[in-house]
């Protein structure tokens, strides 16, 4: 085998080996970049969950009540001294509590499928 053919074969094998090594390095680089991006996505999901929890905590009725009562000192819960009581006779109270009975036709009992009308929301 001549020296010229040997160098041609050696240079060809060297170039092929360098291309193979370069492709393998790119594969590993892309895998590491993918792992880094997965880690970033997990961290963003965790921070998103933490922020959602903080938002829900700030929107909670307990927090809103505490802020309202802390910032406005003039606002207080109603105590018994601020409630007005009305003294009436027992007949007046009984008259107010009992609603008037409506006259119901007994024929309506035959039509049980005709029930009370229900309110429906418009879509």
Q: pLDDT tens, position by position, for the chain (123 residues)?
A: 799 999 999 999 999 999 999 999 999 999 999 999 999 999 999 999 999 999 998 888 888 877 777 766 666 667 777 777 777 777 666 666 666 556 666 666 666 555 555 555 555
Give the pTM: 0.44
Three-class DSSP labels, the chain: CCHHHHHHHHHHHHHHHHHHHHHHHHHHHHHHHHHHHHHHHHHHHHHHHHHHHHHHHHHCHHHHHHHHHHHCCCCCCCCHHHCCCCCCCHHHHHHHHCCCCCCCCHHHHHCCCCCCCCCCCCC
């Amino acid at each position: 085998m001549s020296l010229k053919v040997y160098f041609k074969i050696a240079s060809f094998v060297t170039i092929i080996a360098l291309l193979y090594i370069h492709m393998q390095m790119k594969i590993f680089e892309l895998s590491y970049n993918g792992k880094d991006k997965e880690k970033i996505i997990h961290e963003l999901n965790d921070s998103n969950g933490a922020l959602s929890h903080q938002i829900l905590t700030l929107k909670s009725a307990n927090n809103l009540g505490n802020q309202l009562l802390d910032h406005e000192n003039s606002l207080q819960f109603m105590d018994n001294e601020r409630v007005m009581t009305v003294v009436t006779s027992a007949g007046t109270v009984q008259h107010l509590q009992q609603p008037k009975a409506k006259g119901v036709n007994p024929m309506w009992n035959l039509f049980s499928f005709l029930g009370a009308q229900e309110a429906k929301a418009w879509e």
